[in-house]
């Protein structure tokens, strides 16, 4: 089986084929996502909130991202693996962006990186990364690494001026060489406008159905995360409940001495 490339992902838009993406953070999850036919696996810095139990993504480090990206990349046969550049791995300078972006490919085994923002600073970093042979996926709208600047996790682009800025940023990302753009937390109508304005694919999360593809966080998609569920999340399974049931059954059988039984014992 041949792995999808960034060229294949770009071509899917022209062919009218929607891109199915999911985040993953470890080898067994990535094996399942790849075998299920997902087109793109994002090793998101949502690692912080989904896996590490953090309140936001800001403390996630480059070494942690490389560690998890390598596990995912070892599993992917078909899906394009994209590593998410964590907070302060690219903001400080163009040189830092290229050095850290390069690590995702050379140490992590990813085929591309993602970074947040569509302002001039982000564009300069994307141009340098692309020039260095590192494909980049952009990310505009709700950008979690700017949680403090945004005043919380809020839907972006509701006001006309903000909507115009997001369209402009997405266009600039394409011009800077991005092969795709994540649209997060924006109204459906704005996502449609951006999608129609670009020749590269848009991949939405909380951005409605008109994007060229969708991405969901692994734990949200599979019902592994409980508690508050954002409106845009659709759990396709209820694995937390399934796992809880299995663990309770195991604990019960250990306590009452029915596990291990004869079938699970060397005689």
- In whole angstroms, how close is the CB of 98 to ligand KIV at the nearest point? 20
Tell me how many residues contact ligand KIV (CB under 6 A).
Answer: 11
Residues 148-183, buried b or exposed e (16+ Cβ, 10 A)?
Answer: eeeeeeebbbeeeeebebbbebbebbbebbbbbbbb
Q: Shortest approach of ligand KIV to residue 4 CB, angstroms?
A: 18
- Helix H, strand E, coil C: the string for 184-236 is ECCCHHHHHHHHHHCCCCEEEECCCCCCCEEEECHHHHCCCCCCCCCCCCCCC
Among 13, 19, 24, 46, interactor with ligand KIV by CB under 6 A: 46
**Active-site residues: which are they?**
184
Closest distance of CB 86 from ligand KIV, Å? 9
CB of 245 to ligand KIV, least distance (A): 28
Which of 43-51, 99-107, 123-131, 192-200 is the region at the interface with ligand KIV (rule: CB under 6 A)? Answer: 43-51
Q: Cα 20 to chain center, whole Å?
A: 11
The answer to whether residue 182 forms part of the interface with ligand KIV (CB under 6 A) is yes
Single out the residue of 33, 126, 205, 221 in contact with ligand KIV (rule: CB under 6 A): 205
Contact flag: residue 214 with ligand KIV (CB under 6 A)? no
23 contacts 46 by C-beta, under 8 angstroms:
yes
Single out the residue of 45, 169, 212, 220 in contact with ligand KIV (rule: CB under 6 A): 45
Candidates 33-41, 42-50, 229-237, 252-260 — which segment interacts with ligand KIV by CB under 6 A?
42-50
Cβ at position 229, least distance to ligand KIV in Å: 14
Q: How many CA atoms lie within 13 A of 265 on its CB side?
A: 7
- Interacting residue with ligand KIV among 25, 34, 40, 44 (CB under 6 A): 44
Nearest distance in Å: CB 115, ligand KIV: 10
State which residue, 12 or 203, has the beta carbon closest to ligand KIV: 203
Residue (81 or 182) nearer to ligand KIV, CB? 182
Contact 101, 127 (CB under 8 A): no
- Using an 8 Å Cβ cutoff, are 108 and 75 in contact? no
Nearest Cα to Cα of residue 143 among 177, 172, 118: 118
Pick from 6, 12, 13, 23 the residue near ligand KIV by CB under 6 A: 23
Q: Where are the alpha helices (DSSP H) in the chain?
A: 6-14, 27-35, 47-50, 62-75, 94-106, 120-131, 147-150, 160-176, 188-197, 218-221, 239-256
Name residues contacting ligand KIV, limited to 77-136 (CB under 6 A). Answer: 84
Per CB under 6 A, does 217 bind ligand KIV?
Answer: yes
Can you tell me the distance from the alpha carbon of 60 to that of 23, in angstroms, rounded to the nearest whole number? 15
- The footprint of ligand KIV (CB under 6 A) covers 23, 42, 44-46, 84, 182, 184, 205, 215, 217
């Amino acid at each position: 089986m041949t792995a999808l490339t960034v060229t294949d992902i770009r071509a899917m838009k022209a062919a009218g084929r929607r891109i199915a993406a999911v985040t993953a953070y470890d080898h067994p999850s990535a094996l399942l996502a790849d075998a299920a036919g997902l087109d793109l696996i994002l090793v998101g810095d949502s690692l912080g909130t989904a896996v590490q139990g953090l309140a936001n993504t800001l403390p996630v480090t480059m070494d942690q991202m490389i560690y998890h990206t390598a596990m995912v990349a070892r599993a992917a046969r078909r899906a394009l693996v994209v590593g998410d550049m964590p907070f302060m791995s690219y903001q400080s300078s163009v040189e830092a962006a290229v050095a850290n972006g390069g690590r995702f490919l050379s140490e992590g085994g990813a085929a591309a990186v993602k970074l947040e923002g569509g302002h001039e600073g982000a564009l300069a970093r994307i141009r340098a990364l692309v020039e260095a042979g590192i494909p980049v996926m952009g990310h505009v709208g709700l950008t979690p690494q700017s949680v403090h600047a945004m005043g919380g996790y809020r839907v972006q682009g509701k006001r006309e001026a903000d909507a115009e800025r997001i369209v402009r940023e997405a266009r600039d990302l394409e011009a800077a060489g991005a092969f795709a753009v994540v649209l997060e937390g924006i109204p459906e109508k704005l996502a449609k406008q951006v999608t129609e304005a670009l020749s590269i694919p848009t991949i939405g999360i909380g951005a409605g159905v008109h994007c060229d593809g969708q991405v969901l966080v692994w734990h949200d998609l599979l019902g592994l995360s409980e508690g508050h569920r954002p409106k845009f999340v659709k759990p396709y399974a209820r694995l937390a409940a399934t796992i809880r049931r299995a663990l309770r059954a195991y604990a019960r059988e250990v306590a009452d001495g029915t596990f291990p039984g004869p079938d699970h014992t060397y005689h």
